[in-house]
Structure 1
């Protein structure tokens, strides 16, 4: 090379991301043909499609060098084999990995790689990952790791023939022999529970040791030790001797989290033989032991005889466990701060800021056991926000999108859950607390017991459905095409400012969304229109984190979080607290801001971004910006930053100058990231003068005819076609307008009068609980109807008529003792008393 200060490396082609090889801009660069990162002198390999250009096979001894972990997520149980690269490793390094506050040993592989095994991590959010090479004296390298659990995937350890697992066995597990490079395996049970303070308790219980790696095992025949009571857990298969409790030295395989009927019988057997430990607090299982000891007096006192005899009493065991759970649970009030359900499936699917798909029951699932606990439901959602109580609302919908209610004995109905599936809470752990509090009781009260009566009088009494009384659907706004805006009060207007603007913000700034516009080029090279469209937006929800979405020549959707690019394929990972990204394809993206209940739907089309924004009613009266003031009065939608109002019938130019331009951001308030020496000022053009109206003769007759063919009567589409001469932009605008019209229609408020109970000793027939629906009552033979036989839901949201009761003939007093359960066939409901 001719110059000693030359630079070598690779640029991604965007003027922003690059990698320089060692020695660049020094005299050493002259020997670049003798250097390499892939073992071939003179050859360097780079990866350029990530957030940063990286050199393959490179490492750095600097603490500023990046630490790369793979995979960046793993099961909450622990045992995930995590590989590390970035630093240069030595065989003499004393490696330690810190996951959050838990430290585990690391293992050297080569100069370029090391590994460790994740400990159990019962968190929903990502945890810090730190690496020490000096036995913990310092942790110089940092990354993050995401604990996760999936309800709708097949696990490495399969519970074969699930029907047998719910019917007394045999309890067979299977795994792929090749996934464990060993001839012998150990099988352990990780029993998981919550103590009385909601803290997660983990108990490692050996099932068998040194078993041949055959790929299958029958748990009931293997387990001979059951020292502790447990009803929830997961099964681990590992190379023999490689795993001691949570410490692993080789890869492990896991089952799903499940209820432990097979282990419950083992524990009862151990208790009857006097082999259990003295626990600090008793389990629901302990309550059944005295009765079984009496029943099994004549049974030989050995493991095989007792565990075999328990199969006869499995339903009795389930009933006892269920009633013990019920007695304890009814002493704790159900959460009172949970939101009502959306009234229809269409509303639920649109309200993604406040409700998300239930991973155990949703449309489109390929999981074999989808909706196993909600038979008859087609789709369920759960409330997204983490309530103060820690609970959640599950809402399930049947045919034609109708909300199901377990009180009408629609067993696919949703439930009020004591523990949210994914939220962290001071007295709960994500996934585990929900399973122990809300899913496991359904198994032993409903599935194990085989008793509909018990299920109705216990589980569904303590986990009732929530109706949709009080539900208010979200309000929708849009920003799209050659920039058209739809305000919160439903006003459409066009704003072609060039720069960065406040699309919407709350008065207290707890939510801010800003947009960046650029000029639209025509279909003719080098010719620009006098029109603009969105190319970027940035959003923050008051937590100091900023999410930016851009569209570029390389990527239709490009996401930055706190100025760092996130790979599109990584957006599905739960790496931000309270934020969920919904990826469908590379041209669309959904963002749920769960604590605010806000949902953003972004589409990239024709080189620009279109945005739908779904806001909950809590924002009413609190908004300002280009989408206007939300108060159901469109006349003051054009409120300026200073608080003055531009008349709703103002000209497009007046709206642009007097209203829109007042919402231009400044350098101090901008949320955007600026690269390569650019600044806020580089994206502003305060002198840009758009074309406010299209003269009638602006385009040829042929162009106007083609515009009509493409757009029909959609004004925004016609405007975009004639303004830009670009059919792709017009088509995108047409699709967006039709889409937002459907979204608005799907989220129209529905008047509901709320659930109306069936009278004791009576039946009811109903079509729904919405305005105009009727409910008809009849009393059983020997009972007389008192009150209204037919009640109608009025447009004001209340039922007409009087409360319906069924009085025993010849009596004047009604009895309401016991619990009502309501079996239904074809929506005809009969009520009985459980004594």
Structure 2
């Protein structure tokens, strides 16, 4: 019954999309407030300013023209009556619902109006929202804020003569809608009777000749989209056709660089939304691609798990994602014939539960072990279109290291049907169920299903992973911790191979290739540090598991130095199980986050939260790593008008126009290229506008480029198979990290002096990492390389070998002296690294190639950056000459400040990388290991156990080689120990008793 309800709601939504307002056309005409284009032939409305920026072909527009001949244009009026085939140049950026030779002088009219979403227009906007939501699977929550309706009502063709011909008219409409980020064009065709004016070769009934064109043109001479029947006689039947299943209606997404047709396909490709979800499952996943009808039987295969699906429309279907114990980009295959064949393939990204915001919240979660009643609340919008009633369940997670088995088992379920829209459930703490005692679990709010139905096949949302101490009480956490620690002591070999921590906070922030910020404690989330790691200001974790599956947590204090849990509660712990799991997943000890919870987080809570006196035990078996053996990566930067600092620290400026090799590494298998372009026509400034990189044979290709609309775009394609480029749209995903083949890309928002800026991190497994940011239409790039790549690099980032004199090595192996002039560096070094077209890694817009981005005749300013440090520049830049140069050449203070910040960050990284910290020292006198730390020149300090004192005058000093000089002081007994005192007291008591007995016997004898 519940599943039937799910189908019914979907069907109602679909039907409402087609029949809202009872007709195809959106309301139009003078009675609706439309403006009327004066009757004319080949004219237009003139330029119409619009109140919002409308995205079209990846450009924002603030005005448009409504052209009589069946088109809307954005840059210039379009008067042509015979539709020239797309693509067209000359700035003719056109939306053409029906570009043909309209003559409105003798009948019909052309009207238009702009609308902003307000209560009075909300119903009309809801109609547009329904059209978009019901078609584009990634826009299930699309809500337009702006709309433009242009209508050609009963318009005749040019050359129509006599009453009969003037009755041969067309009525059609273009509706443009946007939410500011995405924009769509809805074409409505009420009646199409003619295709051609007589001036275009048409006959006296408006047919033959050069028929009308329907589609979109970017105006650059290359980029366009036209419906297949454009400029053919068949276009007259467009009012009987559709690409969304509603006769007479077409829908297109038009904001990006390519027009997206919403229709189905036979190519076997899927569009999927959401593109990611929790590995615990329960997400409603929308799918489009195959052409569907009432006979289609949907089966979705997520990785190797098959689940039934439902048809929503002739272009869309839905499935509920199943539980899997793995993460990453997994194949999603769809069958339309009940599972006989899976002909359509896409990608669905499973995320760790840690990386998904819980839609179910446990109120006063820290007190659940002693509160009654317990309260959960949940998101009431996520499933509002699909679910009426829900059930609240608790699942316990267990794993068996001996067999490798893992399971998520329901251990409690509410009996009543709870209205979904209530959003809250109170229940008394139940008795602990008999049988297996689970220690870790999660709350699920699920669609209320039929009796016996597997709840995990229904839509559901999850709480945080947590300790089930409230359901399966641990009577004595201290005793529990003792038993756990005893077992954990036999499994400490993993400590020897965990990733060494960076020694300082700056090192941790720079080493983005190996460490990522901890979600519970970071500079971006200081309140989390106060609760989670008091005393710390930032924590990072190792991105990759160790050889034995361990993880690493490193935390830092206000003094920039790493913290040790033996001295600060804010110190980081070693993790027996890596928080991200270990490939291959799905086995005990390898499951993302859940294995870490059982092995590390759960014992921490029992030992250090519920039983503070046992916390030392936990610290002993999960100690802080003290950065012994850590080597910082080597940085290089490209910033501003481009200023470069090589991997060996040589600073220079190179203003190229073209595409260049920034870096070759790993014997040439890794290549990074930069595209440089003129910042503004007429100025001598050039900037980096795009980066492309790949580790050949190992990784996918990545491109990061400047976007006029979004700041930065990230594209990728599978390396080696010539596949199409795909944009990574982080704003439309729960995930801020995408793991591709051989490379991970993640997105961060960073608070820079109160201004949120976007950073893109790109980490290649070969040891190269990039942090890319944008300012005023240029890219700033911070590159870091792991030490094992030293001695194996070439390109504009230099020959990294520890020697600066050979950094200007050219492709032919010859070397330009490092003291060359700015002009010599430009022509005799920088330009030499311009790539050959066949070697390009870049993605190009349609019709363009490497030569379109090159200009060897460009002459930059050869001013020395130091010469730009004038008084005015010093106010902005201090003593950073690169900043002053950018201020002088571009006049843009934002660019100058960003350059200054990049150079300052680089210098801080170099300074921090030179810091050496001596590590642990064993004190053999009592077997206790003292972790004594100090930077170069620092002196070690020791403490001794009770009953011991520090003997000797020796002092340990930290040296530049990371070793301590001097002899280790010894803790020696400071006096009588406790057992010795006890023996003495006992002996004394016995002596006194003996003396007393003797005295008594002597007195009796005297009597």
State the TM bucket, normalised to the shorter chain.
0.7 to 0.9
Partner Cα separation in structure 2 for residue 25 and residue 666 of structure 1: 40
Which of 663, 670, 677 does residue 504 from structure 1 map onto?
Answer: 663
Shift of 1:626: 0.7
Mapping of 1:561-580 within 5 angstroms? 561-562=716-717, 563-570=725-732, 572-577=735-740, 578-580=743-745
Greater shift, 131-140 or 38-47, is seen at 38-47
Partner Cα separation in structure 2 for residue 805 and residue 234 of structure 1: 51
Name the Cα RMSD after superposition: 3.7
Partner Cα separation in structure 2 for residue 705 and residue 810 of structure 1: 70
CA deviation map 1:692-722 (0-9, x unaligned): 63499x99xxx98866766565433444455
Taking a change above 3 Å as real, the CA distance of residues 787 and 216 of structure 1, as seen in their structure-2 partners, is farther
Partner Cα separation in structure 1 for residue 612 and residue 679 of structure 2: 66
Mapping of 1:542-553 within 5 angstroms? 542=696, 543-553=698-708
Shift of 1:390: 2.3
Could you tell me whether the CA contact under 8 Å between 1:394 and 1:414 is conserved in 2? Answer: yes
CA deviation map 1:603-647 (0-9, x unaligned): 323332222212222222121111111122111111112222211
Taking a change above 3 Å as real, the CA distance of residues 151 and 500 of structure 1, as seen in their structure-2 partners, is same
CA deviation map 1:75-134 (0-9, x unaligned): 111111112234332232111001111111001233343211111122231111111100
Report the 3-state secondary structure (helix = DSSP H, G, I; strand = E; otherwise coil) of the residue aligned with 2:702.
strand
Q: Which residue of 2 aligns with 1:213?
A: 418
Shift of 1:137: 1.9
Shift of 1:492: 1.5
TM-score (norm 2): 0.67
Mapping of 1:595-606 within 5 angstroms? 595-606=765-776
Q: Which residue of 2 aligns with 1:230?
A: 438
Q: Which residue of 1 aligns with 2:48?
A: none
Could you tell me whether the CA contact under 8 Å between 1:205 and 1:226 is conserved in 2? Answer: no
Q: Which residue of 2 aligns with 1:294?
A: none
Q: Which residue of 1 aligns with 2:493?
A: 333
1:693 paired to 2:862 = yes
TM-score (norm 1): 0.80
Taking a change above 3 Å as real, the CA distance of residues 403 and 241 of structure 1, as seen in their structure-2 partners, is same
1:460 paired to 2:619 = yes
Which of 714, 733, 739 does residue 559 from structure 1 map onto?
Answer: 714
Taking a change above 3 Å as real, the CA distance of residues 591 and 541 of structure 1, as seen in their structure-2 partners, is farther
Partner Cα separation in structure 1 for residue 829 and residue 847 of structure 2: 31
Could you tell me whether the CA contact under 8 Å between 2:395 and 2:412 is conserved in 1? Answer: no
Report the 3-state secondary structure (helix = DSSP H, G, I; strand = E; otherwise coil) of the residue aligned with 1:624.
coil
Report the 3-state secondary structure (helix = DSSP H, G, I; strand = E; otherwise coil) of the residue aligned with 2:615.
helix
Q: Which residue of 1 aligns with 2:891?
A: 727
Which of 890, 902, 916 does residue 751 from structure 1 map onto?
Answer: 916
Shift of 1:764: 12
Which of 395, 402, 412 does residue 190 from structure 1 map onto?
Answer: 395
Partner Cα separation in structure 1 for residue 268 and residue 407 of structure 2: 37
Partner Cα separation in structure 2 for residue 794 and residue 431 of structure 1: 40
Partner Cα separation in structure 2 for residue 780 and residue 178 of structure 1: 57
1:59 paired to 2:273 = no
Q: Which residue of 2 aligns with 1:412?
A: 570
Partner Cα separation in structure 1 for residue 904 and residue 877 of structure 2: 15
Taking a change above 3 Å as real, the CA distance of residues 551 and 781 of structure 1, as seen in their structure-2 partners, is closer
Taking a change above 3 Å as real, the CA distance of residues 419 and 632 of structure 1, as seen in their structure-2 partners, is same
Taking a change above 3 Å as real, the CA distance of residues 206 and 51 of structure 1, as seen in their structure-2 partners, is farther
Partner Cα separation in structure 2 for residue 593 and residue 338 of structure 1: 20
Which of 604, 619, 629 does residue 470 from structure 1 map onto?
Answer: 629
Report the 3-state secondary structure (helix = DSSP H, G, I; strand = E; otherwise coil) of the residue aligned with 1:774.
coil
Q: Which residue of 2 aligns with 1:347?
A: 507
Shift of 1:491: 1.2
Mapping of 1:670-709 within 5 angstroms? 670-685=840-855, 687-688=856-857, 690-691=859-860, 693-694=862-863
Q: Which residue of 2 aligns with 1:7?
A: 213
Q: Which residue of 2 aligns with 1:715?
A: 881
Q: Which residue of 2 aligns with 1:126?
A: 329
Report the 3-state secondary structure (helix = DSSP H, G, I; strand = E; otherwise coil) of the residue aligned with 1:348.
helix
Shift of 1:370: 5.9
Mapping of 1:610-689 within 5 angstroms? 610-685=780-855, 687-688=856-857
Q: Which residue of 2 aligns with 1:291?
A: none
Could you tell me whether the CA contact under 8 Å between 1:519 and 1:532 is conserved in 2? Answer: yes
Partner Cα separation in structure 2 for residue 781 and residue 110 of structure 1: 77
CA deviation map 1:328-351 (0-9, x unaligned): 552462243222212222221222
Taking a change above 3 Å as real, the CA distance of residues 244 and 100 of structure 1, as seen in their structure-2 partners, is farther
Could you tell me whether the CA contact under 8 Å between 2:449 and 2:458 is conserved in 1? Answer: no
Could you tell me whether the CA contact under 8 Å between 1:4 and 1:30 is conserved in 2? Answer: no
1:798 paired to 2:963 = yes
Report the 3-state secondary structure (helix = DSSP H, G, I; strand = E; otherwise coil) of the residue aligned with 2:715.
strand
Taking a change above 3 Å as real, the CA distance of residues 206 and 184 of structure 1, as seen in their structure-2 partners, is farther
Could you tell me whether the CA contact under 8 Å between 1:601 and 1:612 is conserved in 2? Answer: yes
Computing the radius of gyration from Cα coordinates, the structure with the larger value is 2
Report the 3-state secondary structure (helix = DSSP H, G, I; strand = E; otherwise coil) of the residue aligned with 1:443.
helix
Taking a change above 3 Å as real, the CA distance of residues 70 and 377 of structure 1, as seen in their structure-2 partners, is same
Q: Which residue of 2 aligns with 1:48?
A: 254
Partner Cα separation in structure 2 for residue 337 and residue 570 of structure 1: 38
The count of aligned residue pairs is 743
Q: Which residue of 1 aligns with 2:599?
A: 437
Q: Which residue of 1 aligns with 2:462?
A: 254
CA deviation map 1:390-413 (0-9, x unaligned): 2221101233333211233x2321
Q: Which residue of 1 aligns with 2:107?
A: none
Could you tell me whether the CA contact under 8 Å between 2:922 and 2:931 is conserved in 1? Answer: no
CA deviation map 1:641-665 (0-9, x unaligned): 2222211122334333332233222
Taking a change above 3 Å as real, the CA distance of residues 392 and 624 of structure 1, as seen in their structure-2 partners, is same
Q: Which residue of 2 aligns with 1:379?
A: 538
Shift of 1:216: 2.2
CA deviation map 1:13-62 (0-9, x unaligned): 6766644335334322234456556798766443223464224xx432x3
Report the 3-state secondary structure (helix = DSSP H, G, I; strand = E; otherwise coil) of the residue aligned with 1:441.
helix
Q: Which residue of 1 aligns with 2:690?
A: 536
Could you tell me whether the CA contact under 8 Å between 2:270 and 2:290 is conserved in 1? Answer: yes
Partner Cα separation in structure 2 for residue 790 and residue 677 of structure 1: 72
CA deviation map 1:579-611 (0-9, x unaligned): 132232896422141634433222323332222
Taking a change above 3 Å as real, the CA distance of residues 602 and 575 of structure 1, as seen in their structure-2 partners, is closer
Could you tell me whether the CA contact under 8 Å between 1:752 and 1:771 is conserved in 2? Answer: yes
Shift of 1:384: 1.7
Q: Which residue of 2 aligns with 1:158?
A: 361
Partner Cα separation in structure 1 for residue 219 and residue 503 of structure 2: 50
